[in-house]
Structures are given as C-alpha cells and as structure tokens.
C-alpha cells in the first residue's frame, strides 16, 4: 500500500502536536519514524490508524483520498496498528483473542480458526499455544498474536508503535525477521521508535520528527550522527552558570532497585549535594519517573535505601519526607498535583495554613491574595483551579511549595508551558537554589536540561548510563546516551 500524508495538522486545544507533516511511504518498504518524546510520532500514527482525527490535511492511500472517523474504518481500508501497550483481553485465551473482531455471526468454529492461527504462526516462526490464557504470555508473544490478528483481518499497512520496548532480544530478532518477510511480500510497515539501533537494523527509509515537524528524511544506510542532530536539534549555547560551592550531601541512593514505569530502576547508587541543580534526561519511562518518586518517598524501593541528610529513610512515607523538607511536583498538574473543583483559597487552606479544626478561612484568603500577586497567577482566590491555564496552574503549584525546601523534585516541570512561563519558573526556582535548595528535575527537552542544570544524569532502560557535570555535558554525548549509545549501556 502506498501512503501519502499531506500537510497534517493536529491541535490538542492550544497544543500544536503535528505542524504540517508531509510523509510518503512506498509499498513493500519498512519505514521508520524517529523522534524524541513529544515529537508528534504517536499522534501522527494514531491519525493514520483512525484512532484520533486530524485537524486538517489529507491522507491518500494508493492515490485515493480517505477520511477516517474511527479505527474500524481504517481497519476496513487495510490499516492495522499495534499499539505500544497491547490492546488485548488477558482473561481470554490466545485463540479467543485471535478470533475477536474477525468472527461474524453466532457460529464459532474454533477448529477452523485454530488451524488458521497455526498456519499464520508457522509462516512467521512464532510459537503460540492457541489454548494458553493470554495472561500467561510475555509482551513479545502478545505482540506476535496481535500482529497475526491484524494480518488475518487483511491489514496491508502495519503500524508498530515502539515495538521493541519490553520484549527480549530473541523476540526482537523474530519480530524483525517477520517484518522483513512481510515487506518482501508487498506489505507496508511503519515503525515508530526512538531507538536508533532498531531503525538501523530494520528500516529502508526513515523520517525524523522534532517538535511536530519533519526535520529530516534519509535512506539506509544511515549515519547516526546526522540522525541524532535531526532528533535533538542543535541546542543554543548554554549560558555560564554561577559556580556555586557544592555543599554537603543531602540526598543519596544506595543500590536502589524498584519497579514502575516501563523499565523500573535497577541498582542505582548516586548522591546529590546542597544547592545542586540536576537534570534527569532520558526517554519517558526509562527510570527517571520512578527515581523521583523514590526520592519523594511516594514509592518504596524493593532493594537498597534512600538517605536524606544521612538518615536511612526506609519505612518512611511521603509525609515523613515532606516534613524533612522534600517537595515533589508531579507532571500531571491537574491529575496529581491540584484538586479540580477546589478554589485557590481552598488549596492554601489545605497546604499552607494552620491545621486547626476550624479552617482559618480568613488567613487562607489573605495568603491566597498575597501569593496570587507574588506569583503573578492570573486568577482570583475564588477561581477554581481547573479554570486556570497550564502556566498558571504551574505557578500555583510553585506557590504552594513550603518556604526554603531542602530538596525539590520536579517531574517534567515545563511540559505544556509556553516559553515565557517556563522562563519565569526557572528564574524563581534558581532563586531557591541560591538559598541552598537541591533541585532534581526530569525533562524531555535536552535544551532545557543543558540550559539550567549543573549536572546531568541520563537514564536508559532503568539505569543511570551517564552522570556528568554541566561542563562535560555536550549535547551529542547526551543525545547518544539517551538513545542507548553510552559506552556502558548494554
């Protein structure tokens, strides 16, 4: 199937996720879509699969213009998408999952479908037991099953979103083998990835996205240096940071392992000094989210311990961490950080006022007035927080931070903020830092990390693969480490 996308735009409210993307994919090829988090890859693929609707632009399949209003329409046109998290039914068996969506009418011939499944599986060297409950399968096997189901539904274009995440090296080989076979048979394959090595091993051609736009296209063999430059851009020269005297150790991880995210966190030992600003880089789910939650006491380590001011914090919960000066600001502001339906004043009554039986409403109102003014929040004390813009919600969260925190943990603090808000926020935070606060923040924007951090940690697959000071941090080295190219990563 020949695919042509013309001038695709997608707006999520004020967010412009796809900004006029043109893409052409020839039949019988494996085409890679590369880019860092938030580059617009998944959005584009979901548009092609009918899962979301484009704001404007044109989709041509074999030269015919098409409009998808739902995934079923795309599926009828021969488009099948394998989502990052398999959309299947764990309580059912392999065969039942295979039959879902294919069987019409009320008569089920399990034997017939079983034979069909076996035949397809053999064709691709997949080992699948039709009667095993799906819940006993690995992610890789579930992916194989989903692939067979899509093919059986008549898919001529297969879209795979980050297919190598969470599967074993052997399964990866089997999958790549199968995909190449499919391409030889004339099917078209689109692979979304952030891993350069996967793209190199698999694709005939690659399109690179960055911040919602196409930044480059090239044919195999690829030059990874050029790919990296297209993926991460050339960041502006970082301004010289004030050479602060690093203070004593504030926070330390000793051989900490934990679950969570896609990769968990594996055997992590690292320590942080007073007044440091540390940027946590890495693709989403590489371990930095778990790391921040462990440092906040929101999650308990499976092994190892977190130390705060030299004190072993095993067994302490988030409130204990909080009492000792740790503040955590989650990335999902309205889902995790603020309480929709409550006003600004009510937030101050909860977080910044005396905890008496009668709520000191007058104090809370006074506090709210002062801080709304000081933090330039566009709203009144009576405003419900869901009525604030993203930037103003972030300002409110900042204004709720207790005075002079010891450790400030920020999860993607500038996500969804405009440049001005982001700039304002960092000015405020670096001010705190001068008073001795240690700041750890994760970010999908390499530019941001290089701009403000004194030290950069790069996470890959649950491990810290690079730990450098700002002076040693050049964008190429960090970009390579993010994509799994650090010398000690594998």
Q: Please give the residue ranges that form the binding site for another protein (CB under 8 A).
A: 318-319, 322, 328, 330, 335-342, 346-347, 349-351, 355-359, 361, 400
**Shortest reach from residue 57's CB to another protein, in Å:** 23
- Measured CA to CA, the distance from residue 81 to residue 161 in angstroms comes to 8
**Shortest reach from residue 322's CB to another protein, in Å:** 7
**Shortest reach from residue 95's CB to another protein, in Å:** 32
Please say which residue, 201 or 350, places its beta carbon nearer to another protein: 350
Please say which residue, 82 or 349, places its beta carbon nearer to another protein: 349
Q: Using alpha carbons, list the distances in angstroms from residue 396 to 86, 113, 142, 147, 428.
A: 37, 57, 43, 46, 13
Q: Alpha-carbon torsion 488, 178, 62, 99, what sign?
A: negative
The HSE-up count of residue 262 (CA atoms within 13 Å, CB side) is 17
**Shortest reach from residue 67's CB to another protein, in Å:** 20
Please say which residue, 241 or 318, places its beta carbon nearer to another protein: 318
Q: Using alpha carbons, list the distances in angstroms from residue 130 to 100, 120, 226, 423.
A: 13, 12, 45, 56
Please say which residue, 104 or 356, places its beta carbon nearer to another protein: 356
- Measured CA to CA, the distance from residue 443 to residue 280 in angstroms comes to 7
**Shortest reach from residue 292's CB to another protein, in Å:** 12
Q: Smallest Cα–Cα separation from 363: which of 378, 373, 348, 376?
A: 348
**Shortest reach from residue 346's CB to another protein, in Å:** 6
CB atoms within 10 A of CB 296: 21
- Measured CA to CA, the distance from residue 28 to residue 184 in angstroms comes to 6
Distance of CA 206 to the CA centre of its chain: 21
Q: Are 394 and 417 in contact (CB under 8 A)?
A: yes
**Shortest reach from residue 15's CB to another protein, in Å:** 18
Q: Are 251 and 306 in contact (CB under 8 A)?
A: yes
Please say which residue, 229 or 351, places its beta carbon nearer to another protein: 351
Please say which residue, 121 or 296, places its beta carbon nearer to another protein: 296
Please say which residue, 360 or 436, places its beta carbon nearer to another protein: 360
Please say which residue, 126 or 328, places its beta carbon nearer to another protein: 328
- Measured CA to CA, the distance from residue 95 to residue 49 in angstroms comes to 24
What letter would DSSP give residue 163?
Answer: T
**Shortest reach from residue 334's CB to another protein, in Å:** 8
| DSSP string computed for 191-230 | EEES-HHHHHHH-SEEEEEETTEEEEEEESSP-HHHHHHH
Please say which residue, 346 or 454, places its beta carbon nearer to another protein: 346
| DSSP string computed for 90-106 | TTSBHHHHHHTTT--SS
Burial class of residue 307 (count of CB atoms within 10 Å of its CB; 0-12, 13-18, 19+):
middle
Q: Tokens standing for 28? A: 């019988």
Strand-pairing partners, residue 25, are: 3
**Shortest reach from residue 388's CB to another protein, in Å:** 14
Taken as a whole, the chain contains a residue count of: 490
Distance of CA 183 to the CA centre of its chain: 29
Please say which residue, 28 or 360, places its beta carbon nearer to another protein: 360
**Shortest reach from residue 315's CB to another protein, in Å:** 16
Please say which residue, 131 or 354, places its beta carbon nearer to another protein: 354
Which residues does 409 contact at the CB level (< 8 Å), separation at least 6?
292, 295, 296, 326, 327, 328, 329, 440, 441
**Shortest reach from residue 294's CB to another protein, in Å:** 15
């Amino acid at each position: 199937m020949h695919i042509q996308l013309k001038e695709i735009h997608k707006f999520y409210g004020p967010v412009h996720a796809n900004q006029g993307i043109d893409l052409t994919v020839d039949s019988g090829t494996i085409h890679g879509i590369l880019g860092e988090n938030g580059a617009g890859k998944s959005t584009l693929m979901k548009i092609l699969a009918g899962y979301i609707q484009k704001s404007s632009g044109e989709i041509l399949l074999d030269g015919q213009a098409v409009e998808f209003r739902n995934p079923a329409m795309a599926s009828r046109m021969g488009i099948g998408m394998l989502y990052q998290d398999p959309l299947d039914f764990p309580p059912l068996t392999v065969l039942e999952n295979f039959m879902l969506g294919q069987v019409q009418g009320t008569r089920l011939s399990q034997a017939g479908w079983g034979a069909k499944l076996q035949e397809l599986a053999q064709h691709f060297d997949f080992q699948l037991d039709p009667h095993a409950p799906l819940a006993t399968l690995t992610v890789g096997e579930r992916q194989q099953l989903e692939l067979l189901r899509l093919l059986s539904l008549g898919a001529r274009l297969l879209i795979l979103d980050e297919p190598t995440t969470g599967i074993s090296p052997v399964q990866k080989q089997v999958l790549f083998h199968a995909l190449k076979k499919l391409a030889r048979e004339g099917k078209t394959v689109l692979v979304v990835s952030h891993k350069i090595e996967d793209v190199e091993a698999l694709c005939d051609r690659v399109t690179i996205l960055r911040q919602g736009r196409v930044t480059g296209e090239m044919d195999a063999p690829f030059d990874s240096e050029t790919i990296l430059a297209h993926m991460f851009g050339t960041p502006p020269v970082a301004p010289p940071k004030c050479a602060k005297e690093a203070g004593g150790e504030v926070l330390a991880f000793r051989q900490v392992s934990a679950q969570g995210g896609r990769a968990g966190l594996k055997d992590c030992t690292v320590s942080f000094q007073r007044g440091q600003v540390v940027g946590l880089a890495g693709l989403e789910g590489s371990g930095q989210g778990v790391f921040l939650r462990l440092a906040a006491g929101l999650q308990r380590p499976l092994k190892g311990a977190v130390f705060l001011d030299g004190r072993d914090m095993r067994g302490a919960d988030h409130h204990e961490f909080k009492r000792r000066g740790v503040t955590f600001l989650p990335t999902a502001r309205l889902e995790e950080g603020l309480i929709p339906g409550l006003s600004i004043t009510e937030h101050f009554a909860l977080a910044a006022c005396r905890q008496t039986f009668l709520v000191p409403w007058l104090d809370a109102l006074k506090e709210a007035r002062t801080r709304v003014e000081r933090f330039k929040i566009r709203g009144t004390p009576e405003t419900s927080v869901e009525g604030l813009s993203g930037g103003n919600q972030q300002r409110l969260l900042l204004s709720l931070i207790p005075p002079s925190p010891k450790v400030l943990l920020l999860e993607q603090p500038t996500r969804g903020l405009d440049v001005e808000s982001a700039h304002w926020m960092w000015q405020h935070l670096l001010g705190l830092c001068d008073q001795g606060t240690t700041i750890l923040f994760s970010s999908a924007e390499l530019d941001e990390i290089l701009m403000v951090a004194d030290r950069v940690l790069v996470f890959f697959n649950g491990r810290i693969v690079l730990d450098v000071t700002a002076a040693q941090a050049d964008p190429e080295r960090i970009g390579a480490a993010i994509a799994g190219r650090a010398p000690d990563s594998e």
